[in-house]
Amino acid sequence: MLLSYTRGIVLGIAASFILVPVILNRAFNFLSFVPRFTNINWHRPSNIRRMINTSYDDNQVFAFPDEGPLVRSYLDVVRDTVCGLTLRTREHTVGFDNSIHPLNIDKRIKGEDWPLIGLTMIGHKRLINIEWALRFVIANQVPGDFIECGVWRGGSSIFARAVLKALNIHDKHVWLADSFQGLPKARTNNDNDGWVKLEYLKVPLEEVQTNFRAFNLLDDHVHFCKGYFVDSLPRCNISQIAVLRMDGDITDLIIVKFCLSVLVHQIKL
């Protein structure tokens, strides 16, 4: 299983980095329910579908040798569109006070601003991270689905579904867990209720589904788990997880621990 743990531009919303098994085991060793990852070869792709390591936008990505040239072009367009970079002449940044500012390309690439038009806050580099993670589990024949906990407008999950569809992967589904009504009230002194009041962060389920339809990606491989994590995750009928992206109220360690404790049994080791 490959765990993608992401953090955004605000402490309570998101950040993105892949926690490979060894890092996860060391960083979260204090969480007793996190299993130890051993006896897994994370560096040698499967002989059945070997990948080619290529340089792309100063990042290392994997490409399957049987891919057609349009796969790369299609994924580039989807990624840049959900990131808000294909419409950069119209795109702007939204401030915490709902003020509008000119787009800063460098910040958008790093996921350090709030998009006016884009469908994800995580930025260009973290979207590449998602593609890498999915390609990795496909090449290593790791069973299980992709799930994102905290989706906002759904852009990251839209891109994940695009990757799977472009690569003709039919045995992996995309799951979106979110309240679809904004962030919950603060539970710790490290957070505040300012986020709760921001209408910008409140994206209803119907809008996320509409965004999927705009890319022709809303199909029977996309599933929604509506509600705050404490309510939605136990009801999320996902059998196995190959890639997990957490994008929630991570200033509250209780929420992080709860998400992992609920989903760890579905994580494929």
Report the 3 state secondary structure along the chain. CEEEEEECCCCCCCEEEEECHHHHHHHCCCCCCCCCCCCCCCCCCCCCCCCEEEEECCEEEEECCCCCHHHHHHHHHHHHHHHCCCCCCCCEEECCCCCEEECCHHHHHHCCCCECCCCCCCHHHHHHHHHHHHHHHHHCCCCCEEEEECCCCCHHHHHHHHHHHHCCCCCCCEEEEECCCCCCCCCCCCCCCCCCCCHHHCCCHHHHHHHHHHCCCCCCCEEEEECCHHHHHHHCCCCCEEEEEECCCCCCHHHHHHHHHHHHHHECC
The answer to whether the CB of 16 falls within 8 A of the CB of 122 is: yes
Over pLDDT 90: what percentage of the chain?
45
Residue 258's pLDDT band, with cuts at 50, 70 and 90, is low
Which of 237, 242, 232, 239 is CA-nearest to residue 205?
232
Residue bearing the bigger pLDDT, 87 or 139: 139
pLDDT score of 35: 27
Residue bearing the bigger pLDDT, 155 or 229: 155
Residue 208's pLDDT band, with cuts at 50, 70 and 90, is very high
The residue count of the chain comes to 269
The answer to whether the CB of 124 falls within 8 A of the CB of 83 is: yes
Residue bearing the bigger pLDDT, 108 or 254: 108
Question: β-pairing, 59-63 with 145-149?
Answer: unpaired
Which of 257, 116, 120 is CA-nearest to residue 176?
120
Could you tell me the domains of the chain?
Answer: 2-39+53-266 (3.40.50.150)
- How far is the C-alpha of 50 from the C-alpha of 61, rounded, in Å? 13
pLDDT at 47 over 70: no
Mean pLDDT taken over the chain: 75
The answer to whether the CB of 7 falls within 8 A of the CB of 15 is: yes
Cα end-to-end span (Å), the chain: 5
Structure tokens at 240: 């196995």
Residue bearing the bigger pLDDT, 192 or 157: 157
pLDDT tens per residue across span 85-97: 987 668 899 988 8
Residue 84's pLDDT band, with cuts at 50, 70 and 90, is very high
